[in-house]
Amino acid sequence: MTTTTYSISRSSTVTRTAAVVGILVVAGLIAAPWWAGRADMRLLSEMFLYLSLACLWNLLAGYAGLVSVGQQAFVGFGGYMLFALAIFAGVSPIVAIPLAGILGALVAVPVALLIFRLRGAYFAIGTWVIAEVFRLSFAQISALGGGSGTSLPVAIVRGMASNRSMREATTYWLALGMAVLVLVVIYMLLRSRNGLALTAIRDSEVASESFGIDIWRHKFVVYIIAAGLTAMTGALIFLQKLRISPDAAFNVNDWTAFVIFIVVIGGIGTLEGPIIGVIVFFLLRETLSDLGTTYLLILGVVAIVVMLKAPKGLWGTLKERTGLELFPLSRRVVKNKSDK
Amino acid sequence: MDWINAIIQGILLGGLYALFAAGLSLIFGVMRLVNIAHGDFIVLAAFLGLSVTSVLGISPLLALLLVVPAMAALGYVLQRGILNQTLGDDILPPLLVTFGLSVIIQNGLLEIYSADPQKMSAGPIETASIALPGDLNVGVLPLIMFLVAVVVIAGLQWVFYRSALGRAFRAVSDKQDIAELMGLNKAHVFGLAMALSLAVVAIAGVFLGIRTSFDPSIGPGRLIFGFEAVIIGGLGNLWGTLIGGIILGVSQNIGAQINPGWQLLAGHIAFLFVLAVRPRGLFPRID
């Protein structure tokens, strides 16, 4: 006799294959200093850092409904904290990176208390004001070069590793490590109770509130985590650049507009989206950047067209048609047939 | 005396900020749309004014006769062509599409006009001033700008609460589907609201271009000032927007009086202070 039982499953053959492929890709990327050239490694590092920023923005906007156009506040803050800790406290840059993250999370607490009073699109512009306040404040600190900025002292840079290629490999691994850390943190967060609450809030705020979910607290936690990790990413970005100034550190185009573009193209509200988005963005940038302003015009048009014609982005559209999922996040009912 | 002067100049500057803010407040009130490109539209209007004055050789104030209808037409076309498709419960589409528009306008202006700062000249009126008792002087042009701001806001208030168009705005804003059942064309009404918003933007842009130098990159800063004026005054309250603009202008001028580097910072801090104490603004519309 055949009975049918049902069970709830998250993983599938696709997600297990994706996990194996993912691990192989990361292993290959770890070995990059042995097979890639200097320029390729710089480009890859930049991609990893943009991937981190994009995943974090996606966590805020795509999962927690917190659309921020002021994430450059934390990128710049993290960068400045790295420089301040290294120059004034003599902290090694490697140690200063997580410290910058912790400081970023701490400074996000009062920011969130203020900015969470605004809703929707007004929240978005409010975050931008905060970023401007950060930019103008850091421009007033003459010990950090004021408006014209400062460079990381050569001695500190030399202290990171014995020679130049080792130093470049170190910053590369840090960038790769950052992207992996961000992906793992977001993955764990989304699979936890907090992630379930976020999904419920996204689907219906009213219904989830009636089930006793504290919407404010969940959003607050996500905002603080995203701010801390964004500040860490910012510290790494400016460790690579070795030079910081208020206008570069708190640049809305570099650290927010491009990031939003990446997420929207790839697919908002999916973990895979930012990965696809980063690849597409860098392909476009590397082929069109000679065009100067025209390149940005094209980017603006592409963003509008994607938003109007395929608001779920490349991955979201694909997922809708095929049900494909690389990260095992959603639950599905599986039919099991067994003979008894 | 310097302080009183700073406050008077700040009040007059507030009029310009209120003009930045009025259009933003209007379209948010009607269709809950926040236009991220609002500041770039202000700069676009300034450049249009520049082109009209240099081609026709007329005063920027006369150029308004061309710039205002041009911007209004652009607003209507944009709303019908693109922005109406983004409206709904989700706030992301309008936000991202206007963000895209902002990038396009900035870089388009950069391509056409280059990054050089420009300025429009309004002739001898720019330097004329009225002497007040106690060594104070009030510029005629800032005074005109302030009075125009008052007139524009009074006009918008009248349109919104006393005219048939305003009734349509309020009806669509309250209940879109029922307003449509009553025979209103939502798409058309929204188009008119954006046209009116950009008509005000045109005035703001030309005044901005007479008052200070401008270049394609300054739009986002103007958006922020407008937004701050709206929030300080209270969402949906047009007269509150004027008061919000004045508070912003006065705090910036007082900040600059203390230390030139603190001008913008002082304005932002005033905004954050109001947000902390009165999150719905000083004069929220009761609804």
| B127 vs A220: which has the higher pLDDT | A220
Is the pLDDT reported for residue B26 higher than 80?
A: yes
Structural tokens at position B166: 């305003």
A179, A180, A178, A208: which is closest to A194 by C-alpha?
A208
**A39-97: per-residue pLDDT in tens?**
899 999 999 999 999 999 999 998 888 999 999 999 999 999 999 999 999 888 889 99
The ipTM is 0.88
β-pairing verdict for A150-151 and B129-132? unpaired
Residue reference for tokens 């470049």: A168
How far is the C-alpha of B96 from the C-alpha of A14, rounded, in Å? 32
pLDDT at B287 exceeding the cut of 60: no
Two structure tokens written together for A97: 């990176």
Angle between helices A120-139 and B263-277 (to 10 degrees): 140
Q: Identify the contact set of chain A against chain B, taking CB-CB distances under 8 A.
A: 61, 67, 69, 114, 117-118, 120-122, 124-126, 128-129, 132-133, 136-137, 139-140, 252-253, 257, 260, 264, 268, 293-294, 296-297, 299-301, 303-304, 307-308, 311
C-alpha triplet B235, B239, B243: angle, nearest 5°: 90
Residue A65 burial (C-beta neighbours within 10 Å; 0-12, 13-18, 19+):
buried
Instruction: Please determine, for residue A239, whether its predicted confidence score (pLDDT) is greater than 90.
Output: yes
With cut-offs at 50, 70 and 90, classify the pLDDT of residue B286.
Answer: low
Task: Report whether B219 contacts B20 (CB < 8 A).
Answer: no
Distance between CA atoms of residues B278 and B105, nearest Å? 35
Beta strand residue intervals within A177-293, DSSP E: 243-244
B76 touching chain A per CB within 8 A: no
Length of chain A: 340
How far is A224 from B29, CA to CA, in rounded Å?
A: 31
Q: Phi, psi at residue A81, to the nearest 5°?
A: -65, -40
Structure tokens at B233: 């005054």
Instruction: Please report, rounded to a whole number, the percentage of residues in chain B having pLDDT higher than 70.
Output: 99
In this complex, do B276 and A114 lie within 8 Å of one another by their Cβ atoms?
A: yes
Residue B71, burial from CB neighbour count under 10 angstroms (0-12, 13-18, 19+):
buried
Subunit contact B224:A125, Cβ cutoff 8 A: yes
Chain B closest CA to A85's CA: distance in Å?
25
Assign B44 a pLDDT band (cuts: 50, 70, 90). very high
Number of CB atoms found within 10 A of residue B54's CB: 12
**DSSP one-letter code for A214:** -
Q: How far is A302 from chain B (nearest CA, A)?
A: 8
Residue contact A125–B227, C-beta within 8 A: yes
Predicted local confidence at residue A290, as pLDDT: 83
Q: How far is B34 from chain A (nearest CA, A)?
A: 6
Question: Please, which pLDDT band fits residue A332 given cuts at 50, 70 and 90?
Answer: low
Given pLDDT bands bounded at 50, 70 and 90, which one contains residue A28? confident
B220: amino acid identity, one letter: P
Chain B residues in contact with A308 (beta carbon < 8 A): 82, 85-86, 93, 97
In angstroms and rounded to an integer, the radius of gyration of the C-alpha atoms of chain B is 19
> For residue range A158-210, what is the model confidence (pLDDT) as tens digits?
877 778 888 888 999 999 999 999 999 999 998 888 888 888 887 777 888 88
Which of the four pLDDT bands, split at 50, 70 and 90, describes residue B118? very high
Q: Rounded to the nearest 10 degrees, what angle do helices A93-115 and A120-139 cross at?
A: 130
Average pLDDT score over residue span A241-266: 92
Spell B234-244 as b/e; 16+ CB within 10 A means b: bbbbbbbbbbb
Enumerate the residues of chain B whose CB falls inside 8 A of the CB of residue A268.
92
Q: Is residue B13 predicted with pLDDT exceeding 60?
A: yes
Asked if B17 and B271 count as a contact pair (C-beta separation under 8 A), the reply is no
Angle of CA points A214, A220, A224, to nearest 5°: 150
CB-CB under 8 Å, B265 with A137: yes
Smallest Cα–Cα separation from B271: which of A248, A106, A139, A122? A122
Q: What percent of chain A has pLDDT over 90?
A: 44
Predicted confidence (pLDDT) per residue in A121-171, tens digit: 788 889 999 999 999 999 999 888 888 888 988 888 887 777 888 888 899
Residues of A in contact with B103 (CB under 8 A): 253, 257, 296-297, 299-300, 303
Q: What is the DSSP string of B71-101?
A: HHHHHHHHHHHTGGGG-SS-SHHHHHHHHHH
Section A217-246 average pLDDT? 95
Query: B173-192: per-residue pLDDT in tens?
Result: 888 888 888 888 889 999 99
| Residue among A67, A114, A294 whose CB faces B95 most closely | A67
Give the pLDDT confidence score for residue A250 in this predicted structure: 95
Amino acid B132 reads L
pLDDT for A337 equals: 63
Q: Which two tokens stand for residue A337?
A: 């047939």
CB A14 within 8 A of CB A332: no
